[in-house]
Amino acid sequence: MDIHKILKQLPHRYPFLLVDRVLEIDKGKTIKALKNVTINEPFFEGHFPNRPVMPGVLMIEALAQAAALLAFDAMDSAPQDDMIYYFAGINAARFKRPVVPGDQLILQVELLRMKVGIFKFKASALVDGELAVEAEITCAVRKMV
Q: Is the dihedral of CA 28, 114, 87, 10 positive or negative?
A: positive
Would residue 47 show up in a list of annotated catalytic residues for this protein?
yes
Task: List the catalytic residue out of 47, 97, 122, 142.
Answer: 47
Neighbouring residues of 54: CB distance < 8 A, sequence distance ≥ 6:
37, 41, 43, 44, 47, 98, 99, 100, 103, 105
Outline where DSSP puts E strands in 66-145: 83-95, 104-115, 118-127, 130-143
Indicate the Cα dihedral angle 13, 19, 25, 30, nearest 10°.
-110
- Tell me the C-alpha distance between 141 and 24, whole Å: 23
| CB distance 41 to 101 below 8 Å | yes
Largest CA distance in the chain: 46
Just list the catalytic residues: 47
